[in-house]
Amino acid sequence: MDFQNTREYAQQLDAKDKLAKYRDEFHFPHVNGKQVIYFTGNSLGLQPKRTKAYVDEIMDDWAKLAVEGHFYADKPWWDYHERFAAPLSKVVGSLPSEVTVMNTLTVNLHLMMVTFYNPTAKRFKIICEEKAFPSDQYMIQSQVKFHGLEPEDTIVEIKRRPGEHNIRLEDVLEKINEVGDELALVLMGGVNYYTGQVFDMKTITEAGQDAGAYVGWDLAHAAGNIKLELHDWNVDFAAWCSYKYMNSGPGNASGAFIHEMHHNDMDLNRFAGWWGQNKERRFLMEPKFDPIRGASGWQVSCLPVLSLAPYLASVEMFDEVGMPALIAKRDHITAYLEFILHEIDKEINGNFEVITPSNPSERASQISVFLHGEGRSLFDYLMKNGVITDWREPNVIRLAPVPLYCSFEDMYEFGQVLKQGILSHKK
């Protein structure tokens, strides 16, 4: 594609953008009296303006109905989560019965491990990727110790080859084959948080299951960001947070997926709670657990509807837009951002190194850049000049051009601020 590094060209792209109107659906912070360029939707998405009405609705129902809000609110609280099933199934590529919303991400991964990690003397190893998000590393380590095993003997990390930033698919498949009948679980991030690399989940899932293991995915950086087909890929389980690309608010509720092939297997371990109990008999207070047949059967506690309300506001926006339209703009705006970075690098005779794959099928709404020769002071300059981005040691900035609220003119303007920041530090 023949891009141009001019404001006029960026504005022309925005004029043709069918999603441009959604930018006005979000609240933006301001720096120096000016709306920021926001690149950290991969950490915390912006607040949709419609969110407040969803929260206020519950507050009003609580005030007017108190406990009766569980049944007589306009959106009754006792089945509030069921409103997520249809729209979320389109986001993650599942059946509505295969998804639910509950808890937070790491809690859900722990609950999934109860079901899908039951090591034996022979089959006990877990494959994950090198430099997974620390919470996943801690979670897996603690699960392994809980089962009386040693992490160094149990956890197998897929390494990057020397001098490379991304993990090769063939190395994942080779490691699965190497571990063989000792493999109990493959648990990886669908999109690596550091580099933005998208893994071939379909191929890895098939390989792991062919080896006799369960396969699960942490989709924190994938849900609402990339095309997912969890049902068709036969993924055993997955979980994701809702506050990154799905804009539900800080630390908010998590989504979970359990494939329908497991819904009727009552021999699977799970930590039970009464909100996972057969909905039609829940209030009979019977002593024996009879789980809902579906992902909701893994719920434990009653619903935190004040947390779910912002997520529902965002999920309904995703349903309006549709993932195909989001992905089309994501690919276009991410490619334009990469172009801008290379143009600025040439203009200043710099030394940028993009560590995110350039192939659109292997990346999502993120560009991670090594700023060789630059330090933390450049990041501070960007922040003080209205570019909200993310710094990772030693000198990487992560840029997430989220298609719902980032504009092509943002990409151009960022390039100008970046150039001025680097030149000012060279004086």
State the CATH number of the domain containing residue 345.
3.90.1150.10
Confidence at residue 382, expressed as pLDDT on a 0 to 100 scale: 95
Please check whether residue 102 lies inside any domain of the structure.
yes
Kindly report, residue by residue over 195-253, the tens digit of the pLDDT.
Answer: 999 999 999 999 999 999 999 999 999 999 999 999 999 999 999 999 999 999 999 99
Examine the domain organization and report whether 232 and 126 are in the same domain.
Answer: yes
Cβ atoms of residues 268 and 282 within 8 Å = no
Examine the domain organization and report whether 262 and 212 are in the same domain.
Answer: yes
CA distances from 153 to 113, 117, 145, 399 (A): 18, 16, 11, 36
Examine the domain organization and report whether 59 and 45 are in the same domain.
Answer: no
Please check whether residue 272 lies inside any domain of the structure.
yes
- Of 278, 302, 321, the last residue of a domain is 321
Examine the domain organization and report whether 74 and 188 are in the same domain.
Answer: yes
pTM reported for the whole predicted model: 0.95
Please check whether residue 2 lies inside any domain of the structure.
no
Confidence at residue 376, expressed as pLDDT on a 0 to 100 scale: 83
Confidence at residue 426, expressed as pLDDT on a 0 to 100 scale: 66
Confidence at residue 427, expressed as pLDDT on a 0 to 100 scale: 60
Examine the domain organization and report whether 234 and 174 are in the same domain.
Answer: yes
Please check whether residue 81 lies inside any domain of the structure.
yes
Residue 371, beta-bridge partner list: 352
Examine the domain organization and report whether 173 and 228 are in the same domain.
Answer: yes
Please check whether residue 409 lies inside any domain of the structure.
yes
Give the range of the structural domain holding residue 398, as residue numbers without chain letter. Answer: 7-49+322-426
Residue 42 backbone dihedrals phi, psi, to 5 degrees: -80, 0
Examine the domain organization and report whether 141 and 287 are in the same domain.
Answer: yes
Confidence at residue 98, expressed as pLDDT on a 0 to 100 scale: 98
Examine the domain organization and report whether 24 and 60 are in the same domain.
Answer: no
Where the chain has pLDDT below 70, the residues are: 426-427
Please check whether residue 14 lies inside any domain of the structure.
yes
Examine the domain organization and report whether 342 and 398 are in the same domain.
Answer: yes
Examine the domain organization and report whether 314 and 357 are in the same domain.
Answer: no
Cβ atoms of residues 310 and 272 within 8 Å = no
Please check whether residue 270 lies inside any domain of the structure.
yes
Examine the domain organization and report whether 180 and 282 are in the same domain.
Answer: yes
Among candidates 177, 252, 217, which has minimal Cα distance to 92? 217
Examine the domain organization and report whether 176 and 271 are in the same domain.
Answer: yes
- Of 276, 300, 321, the last residue of a domain is 321
Confidence at residue 371, expressed as pLDDT on a 0 to 100 scale: 85
CA distances from 91 to 4, 156, 337 (A): 33, 30, 25
Q: Which CATH number goes with the domain that contains 66? A: 3.40.640.10
- Of 321, 345, 376, the last residue of a domain is 321
Task: Report the number of distinct structural domains present in the chain.
Answer: 2
Confidence at residue 26, expressed as pLDDT on a 0 to 100 scale: 98
Please check whether residue 1 lies inside any domain of the structure.
no
